[in-house]
A and B are shown apart, each in its own frame.
Chain A
Amino acid sequence: MADRKVIDARGSFCPGPLMELIAAMKMVQVGDEIEILSSDKGSAGEIPQWLKKVGHEHLGTAEESGVWHIMVRRSK
């Protein structure tokens, strides 16, 4: 099973969570998963669009008590 790294970007506003995700992406291997936590609703929409544009996999998003959990797999 792939490793899953959790990035806590709660309290950060767009594009902060995206920048934290990209920084984390550079530290993991292809195939590894990242779960990013964001309290910013805009980023919950922005991050999947960025993933689609650059070619990484969006595994899903779940919202819980105002926090979005965005699951990502590095694909390249």
Chain B
Amino acid sequence: MESGKISIVALSDKREQLQMAGMIASVGAVSGHEVLVFLSMNALRYFVKGSKARAPSEGPMGELMEQKKVMPFQDLFAHAVDLGGAKIHPCSMAVDVLGVQPSDLEPYLGEPMGLTQFLDESAGGQVWSF
């Protein structure tokens, strides 16, 4: 099976952006790719345990996805880890600015990661940004 490395930078707070990031992470991971997700900026708050924050839609597709109860992006990221062995790390800067502890984040997230490590680990593979 041909495989490679896929790194995803998730920054947006928009439903469609995060849904696509979760789709690539989950399908990539279960298809034999080595998947690394870096959660930063406005995306991170959706991964705080117990968060009731609702990702706003950027357009009609986001509204339709909500109406039709498409699998939430958080579940896709969890599947990427559980079923495909993906690694998902919060950005250390975003953790600090948001004022949360690593233990406040969803348990399928790894330890906070800095940019130096992310850039090193993503080198040589596909990098997607949402």
Contact = CB atoms under 8 A, between A and B. Distances in A.
Interface of A: 11-16, 18-19, 22-23, 26, 46, 50, 53-55
Taking chain A's interface residues, is the majority helix, strand, or loop, or is none over half, making it mixed?
helix
B65 to A, nearest CB: 8
A23 B76 contact: no
A24 to B, nearest CB: 11
B27 A18 contact: yes
B103 interface: no
Contacts of B32: 53-54
A55 B71 contact: no
B31 A54 contact: yes
A40 B129 CA distance: 27
A46 B31 CA distance: 12
Nearest to B22: A15
Interface in B49-77: 65, 68-71, 76
The 10 A-B residue pairs whose C-beta atoms are closest, nearest first, are: A16-B71, A13-B70, A19-B79, A22-B83, A22-B30, A15-B27, A53-B31, A15-B23, A54-B1, A15-B26
Contacts of B23: 14-15
18 contacts: A12-B71, A13-B68, A16-B70, A16-B71, A18-B27, A19-B26, A19-B30, A19-B76, A19-B79, A22-B79, A22-B84, A50-B27, A53-B1, A53-B31, A54-B1, A54-B31, A54-B32, A55-B1
Nearest to B82: A23
Interface string B24-57: 0011001110000000000000000000000000
A12 to B, nearest CB: 7
